[in-house]
Amino acid sequence: MITFHVPAMSSRSSVRAISARVCDVAGVRTLEADLVTRTVRVTGPAEPARIRAALAAAGYAADPCVPAGSSIREPRTGGTPMSTQISSAGTPTGHVHAAHDAGYLSGTFPTDPTGLPEATPPAVVELPDGASLELRMAPVAKRLAGTTVRMLAYNGSVPGPTITVRQGGRLTVRATNDTDSDTTVHWHGLRLENKYDGVPHDTQQPIPPGASFTYRLDFRDPGVYWYHPHIREDYTQEMGLYGNILVLPAEPDYWPPVHRDVVLTIDDVLIEDGAIAPFRRSEVTHAAMGRFGNVFLVGGETDHAMTARVGEVVRLWLTNTANVRVFDLHLPGARMKLVGGDSGRVEREEFISHLLIAPSERAIVDVLFEEPGHYTVEHRTPDRSYPLSRITVIPETAEPSLRGSFGTLRSAPELDAERRQLDHWLAAPPDRILAAVAEMDDPSGPAPGWPVTYACPMHPEVVSDEPGRCPKCGMKLLAASPDGAAGHHDMGHDMSTMDHHEAPAVHDHGHGQGLGTGDGIEWEDDMVEVNRLTTPATMRWQLLDRTAGTDRPPVGWSFTTGDRVKIRLVNEMDSDHPMHHPFHLHGAGRFLVLSRDGVPEPNLVWKDTVLLRTGQTVDILFDVTNPGIWMAHCHIPEHMASGMMFTFTVAEGAGA
């Protein structure tokens, strides 16, 4: 394989012109073009001088990125030059866009697992009050989807160890960075002392490679929490740096009885040509939609399975650790009961048929298996069903029987009190109004000299002679290439590794994305190439303070401990790319969702993250309890890196 740098290659039409010339050269088997790095990779025994001459004949000067004859890595076989393959899901699948070897593009993080220690199974670490824990971040080699990939791990495992502690306790954690880039650890959802929140330059300095930082954690609230870096989360989380914290309640009967607890992370990862697709060191990519994966992980495994007994009640502590993907979880044949959320139990336990969980949200679900057999945990989108985990129920009866308690729906007294005040807060005007908006530049555009038309990257059938917005999804129309496609270049995610099959639609409509589905959720990346090309320089996500009709970031937001603040979150449709956002408030307090689009929330639960669907308005009641400088942001890391975040201050109240 020979790689050439082609500075003038900037659009789909230029790729076609290059392909037409180079693929006529004897010995060329495949050609792969990357518009981000402006590189062309050619596979075959063709002479580099002839390839360079063909590029020059097409009007494009080129320089080899590596010495002639150097071997980078053998590409996957099959395909035709510049071909677009189509998966069974109807999604374009094409070629990898950067090398998987550290020496190929110095601007990418390494993805080669050679010589790394193998990942170990995640441990459950039960710690008493006042205990200490060593947490080490380092690269590992891990088997995923039939191949060995390079990942990053806490204490050698993906996910990291599950830390189990008691409510009211304290823990000291020394975090050591043995990766090749700066990091911190954010303790997601914990109301802890501000200086240990893990936000670089706000609460601490980054931990450089080879250094350590000591955190002191307080556990005020029962529930399931998680930890992850707060530097380049797009890269570090996808590579495996995440783990759970299980805070056991001080109240003995806080939760209903179960036979067993299972803590599970749900994730996806983008694998191309036998490695996790590379990340650029210098900037975040996939800024428009976030980076969707093409391989699902449950508990860090692609083939997750477990065994249960007849009559067994299993409590699932679930965390969505994906960058952008919302999961809709189904477990046909079993009975599911929702008992808790981000920061404790729900107002009223309820039987559910499925569970919608956004990135960084948590849910606590009790499951009863009444019959022996095989069960499958499924993720369902409007189009398809994807198996995530397989459960085998053996013909052995679990003792003691918990069917009676499982059938009882309990309520939470502390949330009953909040319910009595709900009408007051629903009627009150918002104290703050926060709007989610986006400004998007055209990342590729048409070739010079071609007539300009405009098209929607997500609905290519929508074409216009004038700039504007897509009537189907509200997205800004982008300048289109001569074939009428706005940025749909020859690549895509290979969804075939997901082992999916058809399933009935469970949402409002049968297909499409965002507003087009009627549910305001982007289920897949339907504008793969445009998304991959976007960076914080071309895609500017913002949270704007609309409280006084202004059009500016929320500068100077300040509160006092003891405040209760009604915040209205508005996901504006008048935006270049409206889509869903999981909105997260750091440990200054916790909040209740009051209403969604004016409809009162039917089941209250204390939260730190809420899903804001496309075009949706959500009112929350922020209970401010913790002084310091805190962050609020969209938990899609690519959106956060593109500006969708801000800080606010909390002062100590007079009665503290």
Q: Are 493 and 528 in contact (CB under 8 A)?
A: yes
Task: Indicate the pLDDT class of residue 38, thresholds 50, 70 and 90.
Answer: low
Q: Tell me the per-residue pLDDT of 586-596, one tens digit each, with 9 for 90 and over.
A: 999 999 999 99
Q: Tell me how far apart the alpha carbons of residues 494 and 272 are, in angstroms, rounded to a whole number.
A: 8
Which has the higher per-residue pLDDT, 127 or 439? 127
pLDDT for 157 equals: 99
Does a structural domain hold residue 193?
A: yes
Strand order in the sheet with 617-624: 539-545, 432-440, 564-571, 617-624, 589-596, 599-600
Higher pLDDT, 127 or 471: 127
Residue 114 lies in a domain: no
Interval 486-506: pLDDT, tens: 443 333 344 434 443 322 222
430 and 578 together in one domain: yes
Residue showing tokens 């949270």: 543
**What's the 3-state SS for 570-616?**
EECCCCCCCCCEEEEECCCEEEEEEEECCEECCCCCCECEEEECCCC
Burial class (CB in 10 A: 0-12, 13-18, 19+), 489: buried
Alpha-carbon distance 104 to 523, whole Å?
33
CB 73 within 8 A of CB 101: yes
d(CA 148, CA 232): 23
Q: Give the contacts of 117 (CB within 8 A, at least 6 positions apart).
A: 140, 141, 156
Single-letter code of the amino acid located at 322: A
**Cβ within 8 Å of residue 28, ≥6 positions away:** 22, 42, 43, 44, 46, 51, 81
Identify the domain containing residue 47 by its residue range.
Answer: 2-83
Rounded Cα gap, residues 352 and 530, in angstroms: 37
Which of 83, 116, 146 finishes a domain? Answer: 83
The model's pLDDT over 351-376, given as tens digits with 9 standing for 90+, comes to 999 999 999 999 999 999 999 999 99
Alpha-carbon gap, residue 272 to 282, rounded angstroms: 21
User: How long is the chain?
Assistant: 656
**Residue 447: other Cβ atoms inside 10 A:** 16
Residue pair 88/501 in contact (Cβ under 8 Å)? The answer is no
**Distance (Å) of CA 46 to CA 23, 73, 326, 462:** 10, 16, 45, 41
Tokens 């009223």, residue located: 348
Q: Judge whether 46 lies within some domain.
A: yes
Q: What share of the chain in percent tops pLDDT 70? A: 78
Query: What is the average pLDDT score of the chain?
Result: 84
Task: Say whether both 196 and 70 belong to one domain.
Answer: no
CATH code, domain carrying 612: 2.60.40.420
Query: pLDDT tens, 500-526?
Result: 332 222 233 222 333 334 689 999 998
pLDDT at 66 over 60: no
pLDDT tens per residue across span 453-470: 666 665 666 676 666 766
User: Are 237 and 129 in a shared domain?
Assistant: yes
- Tell me how far apart the alpha carbons of residues 655 and 386 are, in angstroms, rounded to a whole number: 52
3-state helix, strand, coil in the chain (%, to 5): 10, 40, 50
Q: What is the mean pLDDT of residues 331-335?
A: 98
75 and 151 together in one domain: no
Nearest partner of 161 among 299, 27, 326, 51, judged by Cα: 299
Stated as kind and residue range, the H or E segment containing 140 is strand 131-144
Least confident of 77-81, 460-464, 577-581: 77-81
Q: How many CA atoms lie within 13 A of 502 on its CB side?
A: 5
Say if CB 576 and CB 560 are below 8 A apart. Answer: no
DSSP 3-state assignment of 80?
coil
CA distances from 372 to 234, 356, 419 (A): 41, 26, 40
What pLDDT sits at residue 53? 76
pLDDT score, position 512? 30
What lies within 8 Å, CB to CB, of 216 at 6+ separation is 170, 171, 172, 173, 192, 193, 196
C-alpha span between 25 and 48 (Å, rounded): 10
**One domain for residues 78 and 160:** no
39 and 143 belong to one structural domain = no
In a domain, 515, yes or no: no
| Domain identity same for 146 and 247 | yes
Residue 295: CB partners within 8 Å, gap ≥ 6? 144, 145, 268, 269, 270, 271, 302, 497, 498
Where residue 92 falls among pLDDT bands split at 50, 70, 90? very low
The answer to whether 334 and 310 are in contact (CB under 8 A) is: no
Q: Which DSSP string corresponds to 283-347? A: S---TTT----SEEEETTBSS-EEEEEET-EEEEEEEE--SSPPEEEE-TTSEEEEEEETTEEEE
User: Omega before 92 cis (within 30°)?
Assistant: no
Tokens matching residue 269: 């990862």
Question: Is residue 209, in this structure, part of any structural domain at all?
Answer: yes
Assess whether 426 and 568 both reside in one domain. yes
The DSSP letter of residue 194 is G
If asked whether residues 67 and 135 sit together in one domain, one would say no
Between these two residues, 181 and 509, which has the higher pLDDT value?
181
Distance between CA atoms of residues 522 and 578, nearest Å: 10
Q: Which two tokens stand for residue 149?
A: 């990939």
Tell me if 404 is assigned to some domain.
no
Residue 549 is predicted with a pLDDT of 80
- Yes or no: say if 177 and 211 are a contact pair by the CB < 8 Å rule: yes
The residues pairing with 244 across neighbouring beta strands, listed in sequence order, are 226
For residues 580 and 513, is the Cβ–Cβ distance under 8 A?
Answer: no
- Could you tell me the pLDDT band of residue 474, with boundaries at 50, 70 and 90? low
Residue 66: which of 18, 5, 109 has the closest Cα? 5
Query: CA 82 to CA 22: how far, in whole Å?
Result: 11
Structural domain contains residue 212 = yes
Is 532 contained in some domain?
A: no
The phi and psi torsions of 634 (rounded to 5 degrees) equal -75, 135
- In 10-130, beta strands by DSSP E: 30-34, 39-43, 63-64, 85-86, 92-93, 124-126
Domain end marker among 62, 83, 104: 83
Region at 424 (left for phi over 0; alpha for psi -120 to 50; beta for the rest) = alpha
Quick check: 256 pLDDT over 90?
A: yes
Lowest mean pLDDT among 231-240, 263-272, 466-475, 611-620: 466-475
Whether 16 and 155 share a structural domain? no
Q: Give the count of domains, the chain.
A: 3
| pLDDT given at position 64 | 64
The rounded distance, in Å, linking the Cα atoms of 201 and 459 is: 41
* Same domain (yes/no): 39, 162: no
Using the 3D structure, point to which of 232, 254, 276 is the last residue of a domain: 254
Q: Note whether 24 and 163 are same-domain residues.
A: no
Task: Look up residue 150 and give its two tokens.
Answer: 């390079």
The answer to whether the bond into 332 is cis (omega within 30° of 0) is no
Cα separations in angstroms, 466 against 449, 477, 487: 17, 9, 17
